[in-house]
Amino acid sequence: LLAKGFGNQTIAEKLFVSVTTVKTHLRNINLKLDAHNRTEAISIARKLYIIV
């Protein structure tokens, strides 16, 4: 959903979780990928074939 360009609110609605939960998961993703923002996280994930 992140790679498709959805915002936090939309992701939360689609996954039936709170926006805070989405933000927490995105923060953890950024930390694990050493990314500084969602765009960089997507780019790194694609390079590592985590997402295609």
DSSP 20-40: HHHHHHHHHHHHHHT-SSHHH
Q: Indicate which CATH number applies to the domain containing 32.
A: 1.10.10.10
**Angstrom distance (rounded) from CA 14 to CA 12:** 6
Residue 35 DSSP code: -
Query: Is there a domain that residue 15 lies in?
Result: yes
Range of the domain at 17: 8-47
Q: List b or e across 19-36, with b for residues whose CB sees 16 or more CB atoms inside 10 angstroms.
A: eeebeeebeebbeebebe
24-49 average pLDDT score: 98
The predicted structure's pLDDT at residue 36: 98
Q: Would residue 34 count as lying in a domain? A: yes
Q: How many domains does the chain have?
A: 1
In a domain? residue 38:
yes
Residue 3 domain-assigned?
Answer: no
Task: Give a yes or no: residue 42 inside a domain.
Answer: yes
Q: Give pLDDT, residue 20.
A: 99
pLDDT at 33: 98
Q: What is the pLDDT of residue 48?
A: 97
Task: Give residue 37's pLDDT.
Answer: 97
10-36, pLDDT tens digit by residue? Answer: 999 999 999 999 999 999 999 999 999
